Structure 1
Amino acid sequence: MEMLRRSSVFAAEVFDRSPTDKELVSQAKALCRDYIHSRLNRAGIGWSKPEHGLAASGGTLGEVSGVLLWLGDELEYLRPNVYRNVARQLNITVASESIVSDAFLAVAADIFSTGVTWGKVVSLYAVAGALAVDCVRHGHPAMVHTIVDCMGEFVRKSLTSWLKRRGGWADMTKCVVNTDPSFRSHWLVSAVCAFGHYLKAVVLYLLREK
């Protein structure tokens, strides 16, 4: 928990200026840890109390985390079966770090194969949270760190340029503070598209040569 707290404080400090690639990745991993811990706590298998999360700590990173969790709730509410039992959907064992890593990165690549939207970003975090729950339930809690590292790797390779153009992770908060009906419509369309890309990613992963 102390390591998580220090990394989260570091990630929060850089919101006052234009973030570097390294800082965007650090923030992505801090958000992923918080998202996973929230989902583990909700499933009754968490390692820490919810009040220790970023969303409860305040600051810009905490606000982003709160929005991410809220949007994740919306996605999971709209399609309750999509973001459950991810390991079973991918037909993988969660005992192997390489298999978990390969599966997560393959799904991530397919989700973003046609571009980046906040809906797809939230969808990827929902996949990470669901996969982490599967890993812990099957007795492999160490895989949580693997998933967080994979999120950081994918963001570093594929999302940092897009995030910089948007002004960083704080841009996600516009998904809820903007009251323009057309913006909300755009978010819902983006979310629905994310479902389609996620399901396509699962199918492609299952069909690829092992």
Structure 2
Amino acid sequence: MEVLRRSSVFAAEVLDVFDRSLSDKELVSQSKALCRDYILSRLNQNGLGWSKSELNFTPPNAALAEVTMVLLCLGDELECIQPSLYRNVARQLNISVAMENVVSDAFLGVATEIFSAGVTWGKVVSLYAVAGALAVDCVRQGYPSTVQVLVDSLGQFVRKFLVHWLKRRGGWTEIMKCVVKKDLAPEQPWLSSTVESIKYFLTTMYVYIMKEP
């Protein structure tokens, strides 16, 4: 009974966090924390052996822990569908990761293309997958400081373009509706449209970013 009581209290505390309206600053902060966690997962997945301290990692609070797990699960699924799409992204974009401003501009350009026709959770996941893939490229090529640039760039994009969309959905917890709870198996419809849209911009974004205004 004591275990059940403590679980109920914990659940109530988590729900209380999401019952109140989150500020823009809080949503951006959560989005960046999720990005750091996503990148950390991808770096370790690629054998780059990064620790949380190297990413200025702040452990997510209890309310974000399950969101992190779901985001990573959906990212895994998206990357499995088109593995080549989320590998060597810097080379696909024809950019040098040695220049932080170029990486930032490229990432923001890709983000703009992803959401040019509207916002869906699938596109949000693809944004994190691109950030993770670019982070792997940066660290692998010896430019680990650029990782934080990616996190900050994602936060900048969320603040300008996604924060109101997140607010209308009550924050990040709605992403959990994209999975079947018992095994975190993602529903498929949003994935196919995301893959089709991302195929195009990854091969053309360098031209788009670098062209004269």
Q: Give the equivalent residue in structure 2 for 1:195.
A: 195
Count how many residue pairs are aligned between Structure 1 and Structure 2.
Answer: 190
Q: Which residue identity does 1:205 align to in structure 2?
A: M
Normalized against structure 2, the TM-score is what? Answer: 0.82
Q: Which residue identity does 2:207 align to in structure 1?
A: L
* Separation (CA, whole Å) in 2 of partners of 1:90 and 1:123: 16
Which has the higher Rg, Structure 1 or Structure 2?
2
| Gap runs ≥5 in structure 1 | 1-12
Q: Which of residues 112, 116, 132 in structure 1 aligns to 2:119?
A: 116
TM-superposed CA distance for 1:58, in Å, is 6.8
Q: Which residue identity does 1:142 align to in structure 2?
A: S
Question: Equivalences for 1:87-166 in 2 at 5 Å?
Answer: 87-166=90-169
Question: Equivalences for 1:1-210 in 2 at 5 Å?
Answer: 14-48=17-51, 59-177=62-180, 187-208=187-208, 209=211
| Gap runs ≥5 in structure 2 | 1-15
In terms of mean alpha carbon deviation, does 133-142 or 74-83 score higher? 74-83
Q: Which residue identity does 2:189 align to in structure 1?
A: V
Q: Residue 27 of structure 2 contacts residue 163 of structure 2 at CA under 8 Å; is this kept in 1?
A: yes
Q: Residue 14 of structure 1 contacts residue 23 of structure 1 at CA under 8 Å; is this kept in 2?
A: no
Q: Between the two proteins, what is the percent identity of the paired residues? A: 60
* Separation (CA, whole Å) in 2 of partners of 1:46 and 1:29: 21
TM-superposed CA distance for 1:193, in Å, is 1.5
Q: Which residue identity does 2:188 align to in structure 1?
A: L
* Separation (CA, whole Å) in 1 of partners of 2:150 and 2:21: 26
